[in-house]
Amino acid sequence: MNFQDVEMHQQAQDVAPPPRLITDQNRAKHARRQRRLLLVEEDELAMAEWRRRHPEDVANEEAFWARRREETAKRREERLDMRRRKALALSQCEIVENGGQSIFSSDDDRWEDMWLNTSDQTSKDGDDDDDDDWE
């Protein structure tokens, strides 16, 4: 609907020419789409009314999604850091295997970074110690 002066679907239908429907199947499909569109409009009106009556719920929802975005960004940054650390440890291991000199000392904790799990299927809290199940 590209009518600038109408707000509701029904108003647009009043000024629009009738659709060209060829078969009964097209008419039925068109009727189903019209019912869905009316339901969507009613839902949008109900949600607008809810937001008007309950601004605290809107604020709580916005705060929730802001926290989720921050947590997601933090997890993404942590995974990227783990990938970098693992890549560095693996590159140092390869250097040593080829007879070169590593920047890590032999007792450096960074050697353990080569065993980091860097998949995206890690748990939210990062506690993937399931070693107790092996006993």
> Any idea what the Cα angle at residue 61 is, between residues 55 and 65, rounded to 5°?
145
CA dist 16 → 20, 22, 51 (Å) = 12, 18, 31
Write the pLDDT tens digit of every residue in 63-107: 999 999 999 999 999 999 999 999 999 998 898 888 888 888 888
Number of domains, the chain: 1
Report which of 74, 68, 66 is spatially closest to residue 126, judged by C-alpha positions.
Answer: 74
Domain assignment of residue 129, yes or no: no
Domain assignment of residue 78, yes or no: yes
pLDDT higher than threshold 80 for residue 15: no
Domain assignment of residue 71, yes or no: yes
Pick 103 or 46 by higher pLDDT. 46
Range of the domain at 94: 55-120
Supply the pLDDT for residue 3.
59
CA dist 85 → 43, 75, 93, 132 (Å) = 49, 15, 12, 26
Domain assignment of residue 23, yes or no: no
Domain assignment of residue 72, yes or no: yes
Domain assignment of residue 32, yes or no: no
Q: Which amino acid is at 135?
A: E
Asked if residue 31 lies in contact with residue 21, where contact means CB atoms within 8 angstroms, the answer is: no
Domain assignment of residue 81, yes or no: yes
pTM score, two decimals? 0.52
Supply the pLDDT for residue 33.
95
The tokens describing 22, both together, are: 């060829």
pLDDT higher than threshold 80 for residue 39: yes
Considering the chain, what is the average pLDDT of its residues?
83
Domain assignment of residue 126, yes or no: no
